A = this chain, B = another copy of it.
Amino acid sequence: MESRALGYFVAVAEELNFTRAAARLGMSVPPLSRAIRRLESDLGVTLFARSPQRVSLTPAGETLLAEGRLALDALRAAARRTQRTETASLILAMKADGDAGLLDSLLTRYRADPDALPVTIRLCGWGAQPRLLLTGEADVALVTEPFDHTGLDTEVIHREPRVAAVASKGPLAARATLTPGDLGDPVIPDGVTDLAQLLTLIEMGRVRAASLPSSIRARYPRPGITYVDMPDAPPATLAIAWPAMSRSRATAALVRAAEHAALERSG
């Protein structure tokens, strides 16, 4: 199976439409159609149920979509890490302010390790870290639960209670405590990748509430936002994550540093 054909397949499987997929791939429909047919014939399996009105995945197509994405990620990761070998640096992905104040002590400890490399911080949006790790764009990441663990190894380095951020003018602001059930469905609109943005939406009443680590309360004080304790909510856990398959010495050293920084903080 050629990786090019697999890339085509994933595009079609995501769009469920040959025309849009071809546009996304920057090619015309016929070669795409033939490439998919050839892939099906090579594998000896039907991947799509086609009708002029509707393209859908067969069960075999479902598995190829899931497994194929992983394979393509691995391929991209191999290329990226190879290109970055020369520079010999470590990329740490995290959401802005997503370090629970541990970053400084973590980096200080890390630099003392003989295996340490220069560290580049890559700030990214909500939940973008797992993909950065899997595609080789980052080597380590700080992530908060919940996130997609597939293909990652993780180590919890910090836990803290949760608070609910609600609009000060809203009905929830008067409560002494809140439970996860009080918040309703935690729907975060697409395109929101920043905490300040989310808090603004809450002020505006566009989002009802958000459950956040309590350290946010001190870091983002706002008149329009009230933080309410959530004693019943599971604690917010911060973890350090890295690709399960490739733990370099430099990565291992950073994980060690994180563990020690966590111990110092908690103990």
Contact = CB atoms under 8 A, between A and B. Distances in A.
Interface in A132-170: 136, 150-151
Interface stretch (A61-69, A113-121, A173-181, A204-212): A61-69
A74 interface: yes
A60 B78 contact: no
A150 B244 contact: yes
A59 interface: yes
A172 to B, nearest CB: 38
A112 interface: no
B78 A64 contact: yes
Number of copies: 2
Interface stretch (A2-10, A26-34, A100-108, A257-265): A2-10
A79 interface: yes
A70 B74 CA distance: 7
Contacts of A136: 67
B75 A1 contact: yes
A6 B77 CA distance: 13
Interface stretch (A80-88, A220-228, A233-241): A80-88
Interface of A: 1-4, 6, 43-45, 47, 59-60, 62-64, 66-68, 70-71, 74-79, 81-83, 85-86, 136, 150-151, 244-246
Q: Which 8 A-B pairs have the closest CB atoms?
A: A67-B78, A3-B3, A71-B74, A60-B85, A64-B82, A74-B74, A71-B75, A1-B79
